[in-house]
Structure 1
Amino acid sequence: MMWFSRAIVFLAVSCLLLVPAGVVQAAADSSQQQLIKDVAWNELQDRERNSFWSYDIEQKIGQNSFEKRQVETRQGPIFRILEKNGKLLTDSESRREQDRLEHLLSSPSALAKNREDHLQDEERLRRLIQLMPNAFLYEQDGPPSGDLVTFRFKPNPAFNPPTYEARVFHGLAGTIEINQRLKRFVAMHGTVINRIDFGYGLLGYVDKGGEFRIHREQVSATHWKTDLVDVHVSGRVILFKSVSKDHHEARSGFRPVPTDISLSDAKHILDQTAAQNEAELSSSSKS
């Protein structure tokens, strides 16, 4: 029966060679587009799950750098600054941080604004993820490296951006990395390829050459978190309330917290972290 098996293989290969190249390419394009759709769907499902985390933040905004600890809660994330420009906070700066957190936790209006800003950012991100399958054209960039596959992307000329934020997103070209086994988004590097004007520049604009970098890390069997946001653009439009136009943010040390964590418990985590960080730095400076 060996000859029969070989005949079947030969026939299959022969049939494949007879298929027009355009049909093969169309099938490959369709498979890639479906992968992007699956990735977008999985990302949206992850965002719907109740999952809260605490983590360290290294942040650079303009000329200033910060070390922070952040805790996610149902009322939105709350954070505490631990260091500024590589130095511990002064006594007066520490008091201001303490006063800021206490005001946030005791003021219904401040809490409502904190939650609303967070929800607006989450909603914008959800809308942008939904645009991924249709806003761009994708082409695989070299062979996969294990589970990781890289695609080059560029604006899809057939796509009509429905909003200002969609126009900015659609104005990017670059690369996207995907875990093809888990069908999850890993990284994106995009560059604004042309200046984007809103209302002929009167309502805002984003200059050509701006860059966006995002990286995602798997933090559990089912959850992924953004561990890098790098934004360097010039213009008068910015999409996210929590991100400036010259913004680098690296996150690490992800630890799950209870989904019903109270604000006071979250603040207790931040206070403990601040005290521990101060003790460690004081001890290292003495030695």
Structure 2
Amino acid sequence: MPGRPYLHCVLGILCLSGVPRTGQAMGDEGNSHTIVQQAVATELTADRNDHTHWLYFEVDKKPDKAVSQWVAETAHGNLKRVVEQNGQKVPETQQRKSMDSFSQDPDQVAKQRKNEQHDDAQATELLKLLPQAFVWTKTDEADGNITLHFKPNPQFHPPDWESRVFAAMEGDMVVDMAEHRIVSLKGKMIRDVKFLGGLLGGLKAGGTFDVERRKTGGNEWQITETHVHIQGRALLFKSISENEDDVKTKFKELSADVSLHQAEDDLMHAAS
């Protein structure tokens, strides 16, 4: 689902009662930490209970590839109808051929699901670290939202290489206080991160990321925009582009038991 971890994005399942309050202070900082814990707990519970499937339009731009496509989520995998690639329209016959090729290839379907499960698990682990990895301070409150600034917690020791990148960031998180949902998470790399002295690559300070989320129906929230611009190359993160702008719009909920064949029909009737 688009509302589940993209980074990216930082949604999974966690029992927050066991999260240590490393670096927590009294007063505003302690209150901010509590708000973060509550928002994370809400997101994790929602993700665990979310069994919806969505159809949406996506524009994904990378340095070497730009794609406009319709995407339909199913329990079997995500089916994609590419309508434009690198500025060139894709003929409808080719659109169908590509979708049929995916649907009829069990290996492709299994590979996609395996990659998604890996990304979900990684994002879950990162989400678990949010209350611990950063020092949180409330900076603004308006229109039902609260803005919390985060910076690395000097007492936090990243348990793995992925969290080393995560803990080298500083930025802001906006929380919808009525529903305790994360509206946006944005920040920048404030220091270089190298792996094995640079042998496995590294990321440079100054890179930025921005994840935006919106309510798309009922109590469901989805990631609608992701912007990642980080300099460097990390061999550890093969599935994550360091320079990417991804925007999702025109969300429509599909039936819970939608098949790949039904999804293809829905995609072919979608109009941009």
TM-score relative to the length of structure 1: 0.81
Greater CA deviation, 249-258 or 57-66?
57-66
Find the aligned partners of 2:214 and 2:82 in 1 and give their Cα distance.
23
Identify unmatched segments of 5+ residues in structure 1.
1-24, 278-287
Find the aligned partners of 1:79 and 1:37 in 2 and give their Cα distance.
35
CA, structure 1 residues 240+149, in 2 after alignment: closer, same or farther (shift >3 Å)? farther
Match of 1:33 in 2: 33
Match of 1:252 in 2: 249
Match of 1:203 among 200, 203, 215: 200
Q: After superposition, give the CA deviation of every residue in 1:67-109 in whole Å (9 maximum; x if it has no partner).
A: 11111111232211112344422x4xx5444333212111111
Structure 2 matches for 1:205-284, cutoff 5 A?
205-237=202-234, 243-273=240-270, 276-277=271-272
Greater CA deviation, 58-67 or 233-242?
233-242
Q: After superposition, give the CA deviation of every residue in 1:27-58 in whole Å (9 maximum; x if it has no partner).
A: 32222111101111111112112111111112
Aligned length: 247
Greater CA deviation, 257-266 or 235-244?
235-244
Q: Which has the higher contact order (CA 8 A, sep 6+)?
A: 2
CA contact (8 A) 2:71 2:81 kept: yes
CA contact (8 A) 1:238 1:244 kept: no
CA contact (8 A) 2:32 2:148 kept: no
For the aligned residue pairs, the C-alpha RMSD in angstroms reads: 1.9
Match of 1:174 among 171, 175, 193: 171
**What secondary structure is seen at the aligned counterpart in 2 of 1:157?**
coil
Task: Specify which structure has the higher proportion of strand.
Answer: 2
TM-score relative to the length of structure 2: 0.85
Q: After superposition, give the CA deviation of every residue in 1:115-144 in whole Å (9 maximum; x if it has no partner).
A: 1111111112211111111111111113x1
Identify unmatched segments of 5+ residues in structure 2.
1-24
CA contact (8 A) 2:173 2:184 kept: yes
Match of 1:189 in 2: 186
Larger Rg: 1
Task: Specify which structure has the higher proportion of helix.
Answer: 1
Find the aligned partners of 2:102 and 2:136 in 1 and give their Cα distance.
44
Match of 1:100 in 2: 98
**What secondary structure is seen at the aligned counterpart in 2 of 1:149?**
strand
- Identity across the alignment (%): 26
CA, structure 1 residues 268+238, in 2 after alignment: closer, same or farther (shift >3 Å)? farther
Structure 2 matches for 1:72-83, cutoff 5 A?
72-83=73-84
CA contact (8 A) 1:76 1:118 kept: no
